[in-house]
Amino acid sequence: MQTTSLKFRQLASQALADETLRTALGDVERIMPVIRNSALDQLENPEAWFDRASASRDRTLAELDVYLEAFEQKVQQLGGHVHWAADGTEACEIIAGICETAGARTVTKSKSMVTEEIELNAFLESRDMTVVETDLGEYIIQLRGERPSHILAPALHVTLSEVAETFHRHHDLERAAPLREPTEMLLEARAVLRDRFLSADVGITGANFLVAETGGVVIVTNEGNADLTASLPDTHIVVTGIEKVVPTLEDAGLMLRLLARSAAGQRLSTYTTLIHGPRRAEDSSGPSNFHVVLLDNGRSDMLGTQLQEMLRCIRCSACINHCPVYTAVGGHAYGSVYSGPMGAVLTPGLAGLHAAAHLPNASTFCGRCEEVCPVRIPIPKMLRYWRDREFERRMTPRSVRYGLDWWTHMNASPRIYRSLLGIAARLLRGLSSRGWITRLPGPGRAWTRYRDMPTPAGQTFQHQWRRTRGRAGES
Ligand code: SF4
């Protein structure tokens, strides 16, 4: 898994200067929490649903091997094949092999973050196959040669005029007038993609859940593109992470209720499809060949560690939509497929801390990610875990390490602590004007560049406490 996460600071600065991006992200911040809350309010006691979902995910993770093997057996009984991939390269080789056996020239795909994680498109293209993304957002960014900037809305960063310009450049079509309206663009993309669907030799989808008791694969979309991808070509390949298995259909139902509400404020996604193996004799359509590729790629290393709870994630994106850092800088700044708070924990888990060391610091620790997570993942606790590892491995910048050493030393001596704090309180008061400090010197300058600070009391809390307690004793 390739990342540019080490450039987070630089990419975040560029993103902060991009006004168009800030407008798009402002909409996420404004709209997504409102629609999520109103959808969850329709559930009686949503917190109890979160508890049930989190307990169900924990039960599954505690016996992940058992449920995965049960799923494999069921798929085989249904006439499908299950492949186990230890890492991205192995997964790509397996998928390319299946495509080559099917004589594939054109491969259609529905949105799958796992295939982004393993960079499947580039791999298949290097084997002379044409890969066509069929989710509208993915299709737009594929034409633009970009990465997704959000796990649910991959083209969130692209404006309407940029979409029009992209279609004008890539679609070889005669038009009466240039594209302006979203519906016109949608219809054009749909017409182009219809041809691709019909000419595809292999369809590749992800999976939202795998049901161990039935061998079913659950896929949700709002466009129906996954259904066409899965059912029109003669070969269907499902690619997903090992953590996506759930024990029963009832568990899948529980997750689906929370997924659609947390993701897009819907009671249920527009299309929820359950696929059980290849076409049966009595079926009028569907693929003859059905394969499921189960990817590990670092996930099993997280089991039994302090990161295990991250594997509960159902990729709803609620934590991303509520994160003040994500809504300021967007997904590309994170330099990996997974962005926002979940990405800041997951990316170092999958790619290694050396490849993503800045991400656990991309947080204000406001705790909203944990609050909104429908499977109760304690994201701030995990970010602290990664920061500890970073400190232990001396990956933290020297200035921070020395600063923390100095802070520890100061806190170990009450006398030094009190006198330094007293000096700081007086100095800060001296810097204020009309009740506010608008400019701090030294490293404090970054803080006051974007915000003012109310004038402090000029005395420490302890000093004031001693003084008022003394007065209370006199009265
Ligand atoms: S961490 Fe929680 S809130 Fe974030 S995407 Fe995963 S399930 Fe959703």
In a domain, 409, yes or no: no
Residue among 377, 379, 381, 382 to mutate when testing ligand 1 (max atoms within 8 A of CB): 377
Q: Ligand 1 centroid to 19 CA: how many Å?
A: 27
Could you give the CA distance from residue 63 to residue 42 in angstroms, rounded to a whole number? 33
pLDDT of 303 reads: 97
Alpha helices (runs of H) in 235-276, residue ranges in sequence order: 249-264
Residues 248 and 323 in one domain: no
* Residue 377 phi, psi dihedral angles, 5° rounding: -80, 125
Residues 115 and 159 in one domain: yes
pLDDT in tens, 160-219: 999 999 999 999 888 889 999 999 999 999 999 999 999 999 999 999 999 999 999 999
In 3-state terms, what secondary structure has residue 246? strand
pLDDT of 394 reads: 87
Owning domain of residue 92? 47-300
Residues 166 and 94 in one domain: yes
pLDDT of 470 reads: 67
In a domain, 61, yes or no: yes
Residues 337 and 234 in one domain: no
Q: Residues lining ligand 1, CB < 6 A? A: 262, 313-319, 342, 372-375, 377
Helix (H) or strand (E) holding 225: helix 225-231
Residues 359 and 445 in one domain: no
Q: Ligand 1 centroid to 385 CA: how many Å?
A: 18
What residues in the chain have per-residue pLDDT under 70? 2-3, 470-475
Residues 235 and 127 in one domain: yes
Residue among 220, 257, 262 to mutate when testing ligand 1 (max atoms within 8 A of CB): 262
CA 151 to ligand 1: nearest atom: 5
Could you give the CA distance from residue 424 to residue 197 in angstroms, rounded to a whole number? 67
Query: Structurally, how many domains does the chain consist of?
Result: 3
Residues 254 and 177 in one domain: yes
Q: Ligand 1 centroid to 338 CA: how many Å?
A: 11
| Residue from 143, 132, 73, 68 nearest 105 by CA | 132
pLDDT of 60 reads: 98
Q: Ligand 1 centroid to 114 CA: how many Å?
A: 15
Residues 207 and 237 in one domain: yes
Residues 295 and 327 in one domain: no
pLDDT in tens, 39-91: 999 999 999 999 999 999 999 999 999 999 999 999 999 999 999 999 999 99
CA 320 to ligand 1: nearest atom: 4
In a domain, 407, yes or no: no
pLDDT of 105 reads: 96
